[in-house]
Amino acid sequence: MPSSRSITQAVLSREQGEGVGALVRRSIGRPELKNHDPFLMLDEFDVDSQGGFPDHPHRGFETVTYMLEGQFQHEDFAGHKGTIGPGDLQWMTAGRGIVHSEMPVKTNTRAHGLQLWVNLPKEHKMCDPQYQELRDQEIKRARPEDGIEIKVIAGESHGVSSQVYTRTPTMYLDIKMAKNKTVVQSIPASYTGFIYTLTGTIYVGERAFEGKAHHTLVLSEDGAETVQISTKDQDAHFVLIAGQPLKEPIVQHGPFVMNSEDEIYTTFDDFQSKKNGFERAKNWKSTIAK
Binding residues for Fe cation, by number, are 56, 58, 100, 102
Hey, is 268 helix, strand or coil? helix
Question: What does DSSP assign to residue 30?
Answer: B
Cα–Cα distance between 101 and 104 in angstroms, integer?
10
Contact by Cβ (8 Å): 192, 165: no
Enumerate the known binding-site residues. Answer: 56, 58, 100, 102
Residue 216 one-letter amino acid: T
Contact by Cβ (8 Å): 151, 174: yes
First to last CA, the chain: 56
Q: Where are the alpha helices (DSSP H) in the chain?
A: 261-273
Half-sphere exposure of 13 (CA within 13 A, CB side): 27
Residue whose C-alpha is closest to residue 121's, from 82, 81, 49, 169:
169
Contact by Cβ (8 Å): 179, 244: no
Total Cβ atoms within 10 A of residue 274: 16
Contact by Cβ (8 Å): 64, 89: yes
Q: What is the DSSP string of 217-230?
A: EEEP-SS--EEEEE
Cα–Cα distance between 69 and 1 in angstroms, integer?
40
**Strand ranges (DSSP E) for 33-94?**
39-58, 61-69, 72-76, 81-84, 89-93
